[in-house]
Amino acid sequence: MKSLYYTHPDFLLHDTGSNHPECADRLRSISQILETPAFSELIKKSPPLGTEQQISLVHPLRYIETLRKAIPELGLHFLDPDTVLSPMSFQAALRAVGAVCDAVDQVLIGKANNAFCALRPPGHHAEPERAMGFCLFNNIAIAAQYALHHYQLDRVAIVDFDVHHGNGTQAAFYNQANVLYASSHEMPNYPGTGFPNEKGMDNIINVPLESGDTGVEFREKYSRVILPALNHFKPDLLLISAGFDAHQQDPLSSINLHENDFQWITQELMNIADHHCQRRIISVLEGGYHLQALASSVATHVKTLMNG
């Protein structure tokens, strides 16, 4: 099984300042483990810059231009207490969009079975006209719209196992029945959305986790709610918002998952892809803020993708 790994030096140049959890060291820790001999069969890809046309599939042009103009020439500019711009942030965000769209191209033309995009800034909190939660452009939403528009797919599913609800992704597809968005997330926690009654056109599935939940509750809820919904939906492409901040060691959550839980959910999603979408999966990095836990969890996730 051919698996792609997208990374680029531009992602390291998005400076969030000292002591910010969403920092360049996250990707350094990932690259240190994914570039060891154990991952020698992983195909490393350098993504192009994304285009305004691709971004505008989700974000209006006025938002793109407002964000571009907010980039500082020097230092940092805070859009909110969590979301930071530096001189190279727009370039990094463009490169992130380029990564997910190129991954869609490579997977849908059959050059690879799946892809993992190790990128930053992350995306699932970015609403169509609002940057928030460390996120500027909603990478996973852009990937979904790009696949639908350029490859005439009928149905795309997004599964988000980041510990925080992807409010931006939900907002992008709340009234779009050909995209299924399914999220597990800790509640109460940032951003305060993701209640089960937020259903859109019955294409939104929110499965809250409670503080202290372990892999037992996580697996039970996926097995009972999300996995059956995916099988019923029969996606042509499966996208993953792969946040690893539900790990027991992560400082931004109170959920107690371990590497074997990420292995389990990855394998379960691969089984769905085997049945419905010709094994086509694209995984996009979201959260994960304990460097060692992030690296080991990503390694487990990617190795599972490679061995499928």
Helix (H, G, I), strand (E, B) or coil at 22: coil
| Residue from 124, 125, 164, 247 carrying the catalytic annotation | 125
Distances (CA, A) of 203 to 187, 198, 244: 20, 10, 24
Q: Which amino acid is at 29?
A: S
Distance CA 32, CA 28 (A): 6
Cβ(249)–Cβ(290) below 8 Å: yes
R_g over Cα of the chain? 17
Are the C-beta atoms of residues 66 and 25 closer than 8 Å to each other?
Answer: no
Give residue 20's Cα distance to chain centre: 19
Do 298 and 30 contact (CB within 8 A), yes or no?
Answer: yes
In angstroms, rounded to a whole number, what is the distance separating the alpha carbons of residues 104 and 153? 12
> Is 152 within 8 Å of 112 (Cβ atoms)?
no
Residue 268: Cβ within 10 Å count: 17
For 28-37, b where at least 16 C-beta lie within 10 A, e where not — what string? ebbbebbeee
Q: Is 301 a catalytic residue?
A: no
User: Over 128-176, what HEC string results?
Assistant: CCECECCECCCHHHHHHHHHHHHHCCCCEEEEECCCCCCHHHHHHHCCC
Active site residues: 125
